[in-house]
C-alpha cells in the first residue's frame, strides 16, 4: 500500500505571516521521518496540514498519491499522538484502545482481537482491564500508541510525544518507538526540538528554521555534511570560527581566522576569496598535543580555560584571543599537563571541517 506523504509545494500563511515557506518534500511509505527545529519554526503547522486540521494556503498534501485538500481530519488515513496523550482517564486500557473502533461501529469481538494484538505489540499483554491511572508514564505512552494504531492509519503523526517523560524513560521509549515502527511498517512523521530523538530514531530528518526547511538528509549526513550555518550549529555540538576567505583550491577553503591564523576546511556551496565565513569543526574532531602534531594538517595553539571530566570523555574549554573553542577527548587521552591555564597544541584534519558563508540560508 502506498502510504507516502507528499508536501507538494505547500505554503502556510496566517494573515501576513508565513509560518511555512514553500516546501516540496516526499516522505516515503514506511519511512520514519522527523521534522527537527526550535520552538516556533513551523513543525506543528506542517503536521496540522498533513492531519487535516489546516489546509495549506498554497499547494497540497498528498497521502498515498491522493490530494487531501478539503478532506477533513477524521477522513484522512492518519492518526495523531500528542504531547499530553489525552487518554480517557475513566476508561480501562482496552476501552481506550478500542474507542476509535467503537465509534466506527466495529463489533465487540473484533475490537477485543485488535486491542489484544496491539497490547502485545506494545509489550503490555494482559493489561487491558487496568485503569489508566494504574499505569506509569511510559506505559501510558505505549497505550496512546496502541490507541492511535487501532484505527489502522497509513501514517502516524507524533507531536513531541516523549517530551513529558523523564530523561531515562525518554531514551528507552526511543528504542520502543523505532521498534514499533519497524514491526508495523507504518509511515511515522515525528516532530521534535530534541536532536537526540531525531537522530536516533529517524531514517531521514528535515531540519527547519523560521518556516524554512533547511536540509533533509539521513542523520549521519546531516551531522557530517551540514549545508547551512543553522544546521551546522543546531545539530550536535560545533565550534564556529569566524574569518574571511584567504584562498579557494577545489573544495579546500583557507580561512584567515582572527587570533588563530590560517585554517583550512571543506567549502560548502559557492565560496569566493574575501567572503565572510564560519569554519565549523566538531569538538570531538579536534586533536590534542602529540595527536595534533602527528595526524593533522591544520594546527594551532590555544589556552585551556577549563577542564570538565564527563566520565568516558573530557571537555577542554580553550581560548585564543576572543575565540573560544571546545575540545572533546576520550578519557584515555588525558595527560597530566592538560590543566587550566596551560597552552595546548590543537589540530584537525582539514576534511573534517566545513566552511559555510556567513549569513546565508538562515
Ligand atoms: P513549538 O515547538 O513551540 O510547538 P513549532 O515549530 O511547532 O513550535 P508552530 O506551532 O508550527 O511552531 O508555529 C509556527 C509559527 O506560526 C509561530 O510563530 C506561531 O506563532 C505561528 N502560528 C501558528 N499557528 C498560528 C495561527 N493559527 N495563527 C497565527 N499564527 C500562528
Q: Which atom of ligand 1 is nearest to the CA of 20?
A: 14
**Whole-number Å distance between alpha carbons of 317 and 302:** 10
| Distance set, CA 205 to CA 16, 200, 218, 309, 319 (Å) | 28, 10, 6, 31, 33
Could you tell me which residues come within 8 angstroms of residue 141 by beta carbon, excluding any fewer than 6 positions away? Answer: 85, 161, 162, 165, 173
pLDDT (0 to 100) of residue 82: 78
pLDDT exceeds cutoff 60 at 361: no
Among residues 173, 194, 227, which one ends one of the domains? Answer: 227
Residue 362, pLDDT score: 45
pLDDT on residue 360: 57
With cut-offs at 50, 70 and 90, classify the pLDDT of residue 86. confident
Tell me if 232 is assigned to some domain: no
What's the chain's average pLDDT? 92
Q: Whose CA is nearest to atom 29 of ligand 1?
A: 14
| Between 321 and 208, residue with greater pLDDT | 208
Q: Give residues with Cβ within 8 angstroms of 311, minimum separation 6.
A: 331
Distance (angstroms) between ligand 1 centre and the Cα of 322 equals 37
pLDDT at 161: 83
- Which of 227, 246, 273 is the C-terminal boundary of a domain? 227
Q: Show which of 194, 227, 260 is a domain's final residue.
A: 227
253 lies in the same domain as 286: yes
Note whether 352 and 285 are within 8 A (CB).
yes
- The domain total for the chain is 2
Residue 37 in grid coordinates? 527545529
Which residues lie with the beta carbon below 6 Å from any ligand 1 atom? 14, 17, 19, 37, 39-45, 193
Cα 313 to ligand 1 centre (Å): 38
Whether residue 58 has pLDDT greater than 60: yes
CA of 25 to the centre of ligand 1 (A): 20
Q: Supply the residue whose CA is at minimum distance from atom 14 of ligand 1.
A: 42
Same-domain pairing of 64 and 206: yes
Residue 218 lies in a domain: yes
Q: Which residue has the cell 496512546?
A: 144
Residues 276 and 207 in one domain: no
What average pLDDT does range 95-121 have in this prediction?
A: 89
pLDDT of residue 225: 93
Report the distance separating Cα 300 and Cα 343, nearest Å. Answer: 11
Domain that holds residue 198: 5-227
Amino acid at each position: 500500500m502506498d502510504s507516502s506523504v507528499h508536501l507538494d509545494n505547500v505554503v502556510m500563511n496566517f494573515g501576513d505571516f508565513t509560518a511555512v515557506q514553500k516546501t516540496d518534500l516526499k516522505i516515503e511509505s514506511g519511512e520514519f521521518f522527523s521534522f527537527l527545529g526550535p520552538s516556533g519554526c513551523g513543525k506543528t503547522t506542517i503536521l496540522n496540514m498533513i492531519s487535516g486540521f489546516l489546509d495549506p494556503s498554497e499547494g497540497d498534501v498528498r497521502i498515498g498519491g491522493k490530494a487531501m485538500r478539503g478532506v477533513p481530519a477524521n477522513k484522512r488515513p492518519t492518526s495523531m499522538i500528542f504531547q499530553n496523550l489525552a487518554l480517557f482517564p475513566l476508561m480501562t486500557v482496552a476501552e481506550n484502545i478500542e474507542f476509535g473502533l467503537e465509534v466506527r461501529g466495529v463489533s465487540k469481538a473484533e475490537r477485543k482481537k485488535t486491542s489484544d494484538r496491539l497490547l502485545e505489540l506494545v509489550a503490555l499483554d494482559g493489561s487491558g482491564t487496568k485503569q489508566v491511572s494504574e499505569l506509569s508514564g511510559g506505559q501510558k505512552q505505549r497505550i496512546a500508541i496502541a490507541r492511535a494504531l487501532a484505527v489502522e492509519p497509513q501514517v502516524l503523526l507524533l507531536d513531541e510525544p516523549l517530551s513529558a517523560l523523564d530523561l531515562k524513560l525518554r531514551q528507552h521509549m526511543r528504542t520502543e518507538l523505532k521498534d514499533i515502527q519497524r514491526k508495523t511498517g507504518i509511515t511515522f512523521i515525528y516532530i521534535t526540538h530534541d536532536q537526540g530523538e531525531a537522530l536516533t530514531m529517524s531514517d531521514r530528518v528535515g531540519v527547519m528554521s523560521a518556516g524554512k526547511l533547511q536540509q533533509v538528509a539521513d542523520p549521519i549526513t546531516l551531522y557530517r555534511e551540514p549545508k547551512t550555518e543553522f544546521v551546522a550549529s543546531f545539530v550536535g555540538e560545533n565550534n564556529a570560527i569566524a574569518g574571511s576567505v584567504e584562498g579557494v583550491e577545489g573544495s579546500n577553503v583557507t580561512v584567515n581566522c582572527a587570533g588563530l591564523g590560517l585554517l583550512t576546511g571543506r567549502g560548502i556551496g559557492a565560496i569566493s576569496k574575501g567572503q565572510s565565513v564560519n569554519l565549523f569543526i566538531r569538538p570531538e574532531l579536534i586533536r590534542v598535543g602529540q595527536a595534533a602534531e602527528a595526524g593533522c594538517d591544520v594546527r594551532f595553539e590555544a589556552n585551556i580555560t577549563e577542564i570538565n571530566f564527563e566520565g568516558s570523555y573530557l571537555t577542554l574549554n580553550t581560548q585564543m584571543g576572543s575565540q573560544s573553542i571546545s575540545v572533546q577527548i576520550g578519557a584515555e587521552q588525558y595527560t597530566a599537563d592538560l590543566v587550566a591555564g596551560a597552552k595546548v597544541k590543537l589540530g584537525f584534519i582539514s576534511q573534517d571541517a566545513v566552511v559555510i558563508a556567513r549569513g546565508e540560508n538562515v
